[in-house]
Structure 1
Amino acid sequence: MKTVLKVSAVCIYDPSGRMLTVRKSGTTKFMHPGGKPESGESAAEAASRELAEEVGITLAPENLELMGVWTGTAANESDTDIQATVFIAPGTWDSAAIHPTAEIAELRWMDISTAHNFDDLAPLLTEYVIPALTA
């Protein structure tokens, strides 16, 4: 039986319309900034906190726009599925505003129209988010 982890993630865009993806230390897949909620946190509160912790963007939870909730394969944990609540951050962000923490090994701004060229994207991105954005 697979374990199901709840996570929150945020789509962040730059002025050129590219989406921010991150690769966490010790992992191989790029994904949205985000993570697991702490006890008592709503999905939006977790997304807001993780965004600040991982890339230094501070947004109030109520300013995040719900994109969708999907259950899929976890990118970096075998025998685990994730239930991901995905939000869109308002506005656009310049790379100078992004301050990755030690947890983040690498940042990549990606034009979603070229996502098919990458083989290192998390399943959540390839199976749910990108199809929803390009529909």
Structure 2
Amino acid sequence: MTERVIHIATGLIRDSDGCVLLVRKRGTQAFMQPGGKIDAGETPVQALLRELEEELALRLRVGDVVDLGTFSAPAANEPGFEVQAALFAVTRAVEPKIQAEIEEMAWVDPAAPGDIVLAPLTRDYVLPLCAVLNAEGPMAETDCGDILTRLQNPS
């Protein structure tokens, strides 16, 4: 049986107001974090840096991103598949510019994203994480795991 998992690397990019950068690829409806598939022989970080340069003209270095963990959700654009996403926070201020397959980008308030269509990973993990991070203030990346545990297992 063929594996129905797509391995991707995605970037969590926030501005100084705590809004999250989301993109919509050409020919699709759902907004999601920028990033993409991990090529053979690539690490997740290498894939993320490549994808951010291709999609948004962002030239980042390994030291500009922090690993937030790996998350699984239904794929937004490939029915019957699941994405397994390595999520990284971009820690440097950026000025993205749409290119490649990106049709549209938007800075979204994670607590009130409005009526845009969101990818399941974005809706279920990324925006809730950002809303908590924004509410609790600056935190070390090690605190993100605790926040995600609380989001996934509310008591």
Q: TM-score w.r.t. structure 2 length?
A: 0.78
Give deviations 1:18-68, integer Å, cap 9, x for gaps: 110000001000001100011111001101110110001111134310112
* Aligned-pair CA distance for 1:119: 4.5
Q: Percent identical across equivalent pairs?
A: 36
- Please point out which of 111, 114, 121 is paired with 2:112: 114
Asked whether the equivalents of residues 25 and 102 of structure 1 are also in contact (C-alpha less than 8 Å), the reply is: no
> Helix, strand or coil: the match of 1:118?
coil
Q: What do residues 80-119 of structure 1 show as CA deviations (whole Å, max 9, x unaligned)?
A: 10000010001333xxx2211141000100011112x334
| 1:16 shift after superposition | 2.2
Q: Aligned in 2, Cα 1:101/1:83: closer, same or farther, shift over 3 Å? A: same
Give the counterpart letter for 1:106 in structure 2.
E
> Which residue of 1 is the match for residue 98 of structure 2?
100
Would you identify which runs of 4 or more consecutive aligned residues in structure 1 move more than 6 Å? none
Secondary structure (helix, strand or coil) at the match of 2:54 reads: helix
- One-letter code of the match for 1:130? L
TM-score, with length taken from structure 1: 0.89
RMSD: 1.6
Gaps of 5+ in 2: 133-146, 148-155
Contact 1:7–1:82, Cα closer than 8 Å, also in 2 = yes
* Larger gyration radius, structure 1 or structure 2: 2
